[in-house]
Amino acid sequence: MLEGIKKDFPVLNQIVNDEPLVYLDNAATTQKPLKVLAAIKDYYENDNANVHRGVHTLAERATEKYEAAREKVRQFINAKSTKEVLFTRGTTTSINWVAQFAGQILKTGDEIVISIMEHHSNIVPWQEVAKKTGAILMFVYLKDGQLDMDDLRKKITNQTKFVSIAHVSNVLGTINPVEEITKIAHEHGAYMVVDGAQSTPHMAIDLQKMDVDFFAFSGHKMMGPTGIGVLYGKEELLNQFEPVEFGGEMIDFVYESHSTWTELPWKFEAGTPNIAGAIALGAAIDYIQELGIDQIHQHEIELIDYLMPKLQEIEGLKIYGPKDNVKRGGLIAFNIEGLHPHDVATALDMEGVAVRAGHHCAQPLLNYLETPATARASFYLYNTKADCDKLVEALKKTKEFFNLD
């Protein structure tokens, strides 16, 4: 169903190192369709004005489009209210905000539970808040490329105040059972935080069903621009926490001695926001909705099912993550015995295939896996089985080039 949509993505229609580009670095960032590019251009050409402040026509149009984008996000993730949808710079900022919220209530001896598969953006903020408050940071480890749920149940206790877990691992591709984890967290009175950066672009998200307390994701990983993201928080919780940035937009009234805050969601959005970014994220959501998020997810499953056996046939190639593709998102991290992943990625680039190599901002996980780095191929709606074939062909050529056959 999704075949033939590459024409919507101008950047994909180019030659790299004398080869047609095959872009397989979608877990890092996705390409942008014409519809999104047009939304950015249209805003700056026709509606450029600051939001919420002016009564002139341009300001009203900009505000209307900005808040319409918030409503699109609300519907896309099934939040109860737009009061629960905060625009941020991205997942990293969103999780930092939650960690700063946590710093307002954590005390010495309280516990924070995360997993060893987390991105640094879901580790470092918690390390910092633990240092400042005297809280204890606990890690849940793995079993067969997935969260060890027995370990998780042991680690989450009545001392646990926050649990923060990736919905989908950006290295292993593991899809974590966040609904089950949320129930466990809530049974012990803990808040549940989910890093949705690698899930939101690829599968249906229903936050009311999931019942998580906070959920973070980035626009650029779902065909939106860089510098725009979302933090979802339950309304009653956002009302309890104090803002973490201060200035214009987020105030109700400023006195000489103190200030009061405006209502949600603007209470947390200090200063001029990324207006064009929010509007373009709304356009990206429109594009996803037109194709169908379930169809996108199914398309990626079909690509992984097609590619995995071909990779497993390559001698010396080690794949990380769950063996069951049903429990895996649309990415595969791998290494070739005898080759550094950077050499693999460089060789693939010479064949026009773009993959990521390195620690993927997940050094604790790679230390746990006892490897300094991996290569990673990650897929999205515009990738095809022909792209998978090109990756396999390029990997075989790489082995030949380094005399590993």
Active site residue ranges = 361
- Tokens in use for 206? 């229903």
DSSP string of 355-385?
-EEE-TT-HHHHHHHT-S-EEEEE--TT--H
Residue 139, exposed/middle/buried by CB under 10 A (0-12, 13-18, 19+)? middle
Among 99, 35, 114, 25, which Cα is nearest to 352's?
A: 25
Q: How far apart are the first and last CA of the chain?
A: 37
**Of 354, 351, 360, 363, the residue nearest 394 (C-alpha):** 351
| 266 vs 280: CA distance, rounded Å | 19
CA-wise closest residue to 375 among 390, 364, 391, 389: 391
Q: What's the Rg (C-alpha) of the chain?
A: 22
Cα 176 → chain centroid:
14
Nearest to 101 by CA among 112, 109, 90, 117: 112
Tokens of 91: 């997942």
Asked if 345 contacts 390 with a C-beta cutoff of 8 angstroms, the reply is no
Whether the upstream peptide bond of residue 265 has omega within 30° of 0, thus cis, is: yes
Helix H or strand E encompassing 13: none
Q: How far apart are CA 123 and CA 115, in angstroms?
A: 9
Q: Which residues contact 199 (CB under 8 A, 6 or more apart)?
A: 167, 168, 175, 205, 217, 329
Measured CA to CA, the distance from residue 113 to residue 102 in angstroms comes to 13
**In contact, 118 and 89? CB cutoff 8 Å:** no
Tell me the two tokens of residue 293.
Answer: 């998020």
**Residue 161 · residue 110 · CB < 8 Å:** yes
Strand 331-336 with 317-320, pairing: antiparallel
